[in-house]
Amino acid sequence: MKKIAVISDIHGNLEALKTILLDIKKRGIEQIYCLGDTIGKGTRPNECLDLLKNTTMVYGNWEDFFNNRICSSNSAWERYNLLNEQLSKENKTRLKSLPLCCEIYISGRLVRMFHANPNNAWDNILSIDRIDDIYSLFLPTENTSDNVADVIVYAHTHMQNLMKLYNRTLINVGSVGNAFDVIRNERKDGNAKNTTNADYLIIEGQINSKEYSDIGYEFVSLKYDINQELEDSKNNPEFDNYSRELLTGKFRNINKYKDNFEKSYYDITNL
């Protein structure tokens, strides 16, 4: 059996990405899939993209933001202009050519990969959502093949997770450069270092095979030099938000998930 690595949500965090790529190399894994949001937040998106020239990549919401100039405020335009300055012409061209989804057969299972969902790179789906909403991720769309997927691998919410439903498997790979946990409560929280790592996924099986056989999934969570990343990011115009997220694992826009929480049974006091 062979292994592939699936990474996502690097967000311009070069220190985290270098740590992940070194680990992947040590494990002898040659094939890497990246599920978007390589850019945004951190200040070295160009360097990160240069390290991922040989990866299969789909686009995330930050790539969509940049490609389509989705700027509805002055701060959004500032983010766009900064990215426009940072990215090379070659990388800008590459970002415009990325697909929304990719698929591969592993050990007889159709594995479908995308950033957020198979329709767009923005909508949030969490493990606490309604089962019908979660199941919709497996269904074919105009952006996929005509088959219902056996395994979904996605990202966007920055939280590693694996769940089973309807004899299918749903996996969130987490985030390489901006891991956080949105289920937070000051009275119940454990050590933030359990969250503030560089995360990725390994899938082991018969790659590109439709013959049903063994398969394995492994979450990897690596300590990296956050202080060095922040030292190299002092020119970040959003440094306070960036450093808070990297050090505490608390999402700057927690209200983004309000609808998801209201549909759940979680105690979200003191989020």
- Strands in the chain per DSSP E: 2-7, 31-34, 56-57, 101-106, 109-114, 151-154, 161-165, 168-172, 198-205, 215-222
Q: What is the DSSP letter of 207?
A: B
Element (H, E) at 47: helix 45-51
- What gap in Å lies between CA 131 and CA 127, rounded to an integer? 9
pTM over 0.85: yes
Read off the pLDDT of residues 52-71 as tens digits, 9 standing for 90 and up.
Answer: 999 999 999 999 999 999 99
Q: Report CA torsion sign: 22, 23, 28, 31.
A: negative
Hey, is 174 helix, strand or coil?
A: coil
Q: What is the DSSP letter of 17?
A: H
Start-to-end C-alpha separation, the chain: 43
Enumerate domains of the chain plus CATH numbers.
Answer: 2-262 (3.60.21.10)
Q: What is the dihedral of CA 229, 234, 236, 240, to 10 degrees?
A: 90
The single-letter code of the amino acid at 147 is N
CA neighbours closer than 13 Å in the CB half-sphere of residue 138: 20
Taking only the tens of pLDDT, the chain with its 271 residues reads: 999 999 999 999 999 999 999 999 999 999 999 999 999 999 999 999 999 999 999 999 999 999 999 998 999 999 999 999 999 999 999 999 999 999 999 999 999 999 999 999 999 888 878 899 999 999 999 999 999 999 999 999 999 999 999 999 999 999 999 999 988 888 999 999 999 999 999 999 999 999 999 999 999 999 999 999 999 999 999 999 999 999 999 988 766 655 555 555 444 444 4
Read off the pLDDT of residues 207-221 as tens digits, 9 standing for 90 and up.
Answer: 999 999 999 999 999
Burial of 39 (0-12, 13-18, 19+ CB in 10 A): buried
- DSSP state string for 134-160: HHGGGS--TTS-SSPPSEEEE-SS---
